[in-house]
Copies of this chain bind each other. A is one copy, B any other.
Amino acid sequence: MTRVISDMSMSLDGFVTGPDDSRENPFGTGAEGLHDWIFKDSTDEDAAILDEAVAHCGALVMGRRSFEKNEGDGGWGDGGPVGDTPVFVVTHHAPTRRYPSVFTFVTDGVESAIRQARAAAGDKDVGLHGATTAQQALNLGLLDEIQVHVVPVLLGGGTRLFDHLGGPVTLRRRRVVATPAATHLRFDVVR
């Protein structure tokens, strides 16, 4: 059964980017290390967690800002961030430029994007990328799981993963995997 999962790297003080993130400085100041568990410090356990997420991901939802930041200077080339996995980009205005066919631009909100992503994902999961997307899904009651890769740094500023939430949300921890570069925590959202 398809589950909707937010999967993000986060500093211990809750930031997914450092201050002043932009297309030119996609991680924000001081936050390059948030993804060391994927790249330079990756262990077999880290790699297994990433591989699992990719293997289970049937569709992605992201905001326009994440889409633009992840495109970088090189453009998207032939595919999306996860090969030919469909990506639904929530945006106020669909771009006029052409993008690879894995991208669908959704102009009627995150609820619609998640619905379309569920349909595209088949038996696999829907992955949410970006803080705003996760927050909106939580507030709409559409989020099933939260995976956070807690990185041992305090950034002191930037974009918070958990912000603008409504009242308390109870979680149930499913898994803890501790590697040198991150503490990988996975929670069910209890409804």
| Chain A interface (Cβ < 8 Å from any Cβ of B) | 12-14, 18, 29-31, 138, 146, 148, 150, 152-157, 160-163, 165-173, 176, 178, 180, 183, 185, 187
Contacts and interface: CB of A to CB of B under 8 A. Distances in A.
A154 B163 CA distance: 10
B152 A187 contact: yes
A115 B171 CA distance: 40
Contacts of A161: 13
Per assembly, the copies of the chain total: 2
A172 B156 contact: no
A165 to B, nearest CB: 4
A170 to B, nearest CB: 6
Contacts of A168: 18, 29-31, 153-156
A154 B165 contact: yes
Given A12-B146, A12-B187, A183-B183, 6 more contacts: A13-B165, A153-B169, A153-B170, A154-B168, A173-B178, A173-B180
